[in-house]
């Protein structure tokens, strides 16, 4: 599983990264978690507001910080 956190490195982006890692741990799943802060790469996903969560190439959440349960749902979907 490949997970990308899209964002400039702001506090919201860092929070989404930490929550995603926590969700993976609670689900006992392993994934390659990457931070993407390059604006051109972010735009390639069609994301105009960050943070965003991308799971296996699919944008699942963008422009907000979801709850841990929503992150788990999107990871396992």
Residues annotated as part of the active site = 10, 13
How sure is the predictor about 9, in pLDDT bands with cuts at 50, 70 and 90?
confident
Question: What confidence tens digit (pLDDT) does each residue in 25-50 have?
Answer: 999 999 999 999 999 999 999 998 99
Given a contact cutoff of 8 angstroms between Cβ atoms, the answer to whether 23 and 16 are in contact is no
How sure is the predictor about 10, in pLDDT bands with cuts at 50, 70 and 90?
confident
Fold of the domain built from segment(s) 2-76? Glutaredoxin (3.40.30)
Given a contact cutoff of 8 angstroms between Cβ atoms, the answer to whether 30 and 1 are in contact is yes
Read off the pTM.
0.92
Q: What percent of the chain has pLDDT over 70?
A: 100
pLDDT of 8 > 90? The answer is no
């Amino acid at each position: 599983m490949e997970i990308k956190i899209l964002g400039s490195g702001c506090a919201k982006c860092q929070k989404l990264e930490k929550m995603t890692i926590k969700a993976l741990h609670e689900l006992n799943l392993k994934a390659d978690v990457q931070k993407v802060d390059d604006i051109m790469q972010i735009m390639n996903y069609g994301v105009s507001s960050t943070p965003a969560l991308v799971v296996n190439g699919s944008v699942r959440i963008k422009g907000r910080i979801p709850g841990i349960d929503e992150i788990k749902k999107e990871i396992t979907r």
